[in-house]
């Protein structure tokens, strides 16, 4: 005898599903696309990085330096200040582009061309990194102007585990020269042990 399945009321399940969808939608922050992949070293430290007001200095394994700061308003203001400092006038469009992209790793001189590219091109080109030598230290200006734009910034250094210490030292020295004595090193969880 064929039995007809009794109808199940799906309403509570749907309610729950949509509740979860809403929750994840609201809490989700899109993973920002970084120009380089950085494999951070592991440590036992369990301090979490704050969610906003973070300036990230990324150092990849080829010792290129990238700079990133969060907050669209901060970024827009920062670009204006950098332009003033270097005598480059950025258009409104360029400021808008700069506000929404993530890390930059080009010298300030070629920043205008970099901003003129479309997102795909920007992803495909290899960025040379921000000059941070003592002769031409643009990183110092980035840090200084970013802190002027947003005084509550915390500084995080995200180095690749295989980056040379020499480069890290250059970056840290740049910070200390600018009276920044406190910063965070981004690490990931210690595996095993």
Q: State the residues that interact with other proteins by CB under 8 A.
A: 10-11, 13-14, 17-18, 20-21, 24-25, 27-31, 40-49, 51, 59, 156, 158-166, 168-169, 172, 175-177, 179, 181-189, 193
Look at residues 58, 68, 34 and name the one whose alpha carbon lies nearest to residue 160. Answer: 58
Least distance between other proteins and beta carbon 47 (Å):
5
Look at residues 45, 67, 50 and name the one whose alpha carbon lies nearest to residue 58. Answer: 67
Comparison of 20 and 148: residue with beta carbon closer to other proteins = 20
Rounded Cα–Cα distance for residues 147 and 78 (Å): 9
Q: Hey, what are 193's tokens?
A: 């042990």
Comparison of 16 and 116: residue with beta carbon closer to other proteins = 16
Least distance between other proteins and beta carbon 45 (Å):
4
Residue bearing tokens 């399945």:
5
At residue 12, the 3 state secondary structure works out as helix
Comparison of 80 and 131: residue with beta carbon closer to other proteins = 131
Comparison of 40 and 96: residue with beta carbon closer to other proteins = 40
Rounded Cα–Cα distance for residues 43 and 143 (Å): 26
Least distance between other proteins and beta carbon 86 (Å):
26
Least distance between other proteins and beta carbon 147 (Å):
16
Q: Hey, what are 104's tokens?
A: 């930059």
Rounded Cα–Cα distance for residues 115 and 122 (Å): 8
């Amino acid at each position: 005898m064929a039995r007809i399945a009794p109808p199940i009321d799906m309403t509570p399940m749907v309610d729950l599903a949509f509740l979860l969808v809403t929750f994840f939608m609201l809490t989700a922050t899109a993973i920002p696309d970084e120009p380089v992949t950085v494999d951070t070293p592991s440590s036992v430290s369990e301090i979490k990085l704050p969610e906003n007001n973070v300036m990230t200095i990324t150092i990849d394994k080829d010792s290129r330096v990238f700079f990133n700061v969060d907050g669209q308003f901060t970024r827009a203001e920062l670009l204006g200040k950098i332009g003033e400092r270097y005598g480059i006038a950025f258009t409104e469009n360029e400021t808008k582009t700069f506000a929404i992209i993530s890390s930059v790793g080009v010298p300030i001189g070629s920043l205008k061309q970099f901003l003129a590219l479309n997102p795909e091109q920007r992803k495909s080109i290899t960025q040379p990194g921000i000059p941070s030598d003592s002769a031409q230290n643009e990183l110092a200006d980035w840090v200084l102007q970013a802190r002027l734009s947003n005084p509550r910034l915390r500084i995080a250094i995200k180095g690749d585990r295989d980056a040379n210490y020499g480069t890290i030292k250059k970056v840290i020295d740049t910070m200390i020269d600018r009276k920044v004595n406190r910063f965070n090193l981004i690490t990931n969880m210690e595996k095993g042990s």
